[in-house]
Amino acid sequence: MQYEIKGAPYPVGIVNLEAGESVLCQSGAMTWMSPNMKMETKGGGLGKMFSRALSGESLFQNTYTAQGGAGTIAFASTVPGDILAIDLQPGQSIVAQKSAFLASASTVSYEMFFQKKLGAGFFGGEGFIMQKFSGSGMLLLEIDGSCITYDLGAGETMLIDTGNLAAMDATCSMDIETVKGVGNALLGGEGLFHTKVTGPGKVYLQTLPISNMATAIARYIPSKN
């Protein structure tokens, strides 16, 4: 399986499959494909369907398989931004924000990831439930805005504004930190809390959370009287 990302800031992930290879995707993610791609829609049982619903995904996933020869299929992002392509290695896991999943190799597994710390779930901006991906193979995630990556060493920390954490290695931990100073918290415009991520591991940041974009656009939409 080979892939390439084209078309930023409205990107598309183009995946080339050998005969018999399969790729999983979020319902409705397919943009175009060769005619020999066979689609199969599955829920995976009530437990998996419930898990996907809680983590912001649709209840069903589509599996596309190349039949009778090599095939091509493309998956487009639903918001302006980046498509983050990760080649998962055996033993590696990625934790991502809700609704981040776009597509993956059939060898990549998905499960819910629960925030263990109460404060991080309430005030960290990512919520209690995130997504965790394991296994091996291609993983495509949607990123709001541009994606900036940092490698944190063991015990090294980074403070991140609410909503700007897109994904991180599962070896990282997440907590919250209160903005110091009453005046800073109330008048600084950065809110009361920051998300605190501690390494070791890689952190993927997004520059324009869709919630921030929606707030900015709403200012220019006339209200109805």
Phi, psi of 213 (to 5 degrees): -65, -40
Six-digit token string for 175 = 């907590």
Pair 212, 125: CB distance under 8 Å: no
For the chain, the structural domain boundaries read 2-218
What is the distance between the alpha carbons of residues 25 and 177, in angstroms, rounded to a whole number?
35
Mean per-residue pLDDT, 89-110: 92
For 127-143, the pLDDT digits (tens) are: 558 899 999 999 999 99
What is the distance between the alpha carbons of residues 110 and 101, in angstroms, rounded to a whole number?
9
Phi, psi of 187 (to 5 degrees): -115, -10
pLDDT at 115: 65
How many C-beta atoms surround the C-beta of residue 114 within 10 A? 12
Asked if the model's pLDDT at residue 23 lies above 70, the reply is yes
Query: In the chain, how many H helices and how many E strands?
Result: 4, 19
What is the distance between the alpha carbons of residues 75 and 29, in angstroms, rounded to a whole number?
5
Q: What is the CA radius of gyration of the chain?
A: 19
pLDDT at 117: 56
Asked if the model's pLDDT at residue 120 lies above 50, the reply is no
How many C-beta atoms surround the C-beta of residue 129 within 10 A? 15
Pair 195, 120: CB distance under 8 Å: yes
H-only helix segments in 63-202: 118-123, 182-187
pLDDT at 61: 84
Asked if the model's pLDDT at residue 59 lies above 90, the reply is no
Pair 93, 109: CB distance under 8 Å: no
The neighbouring-strand residues paired with 83 are: 142
CA atoms within 13 A on the CB side of 138: 23
- Give the residue, 56 or 102, on which the prediction is more confident: 102
CATH number of 2-218: 3.60.160.10
Asked if the model's pLDDT at residue 212 lies above 90, the reply is no
Pair 94, 40: CB distance under 8 Å: no
Pair 167, 126: CB distance under 8 Å: no
For 148-175, the pLDDT digits (tens) are: 999 999 999 999 988 899 999 999 998 8
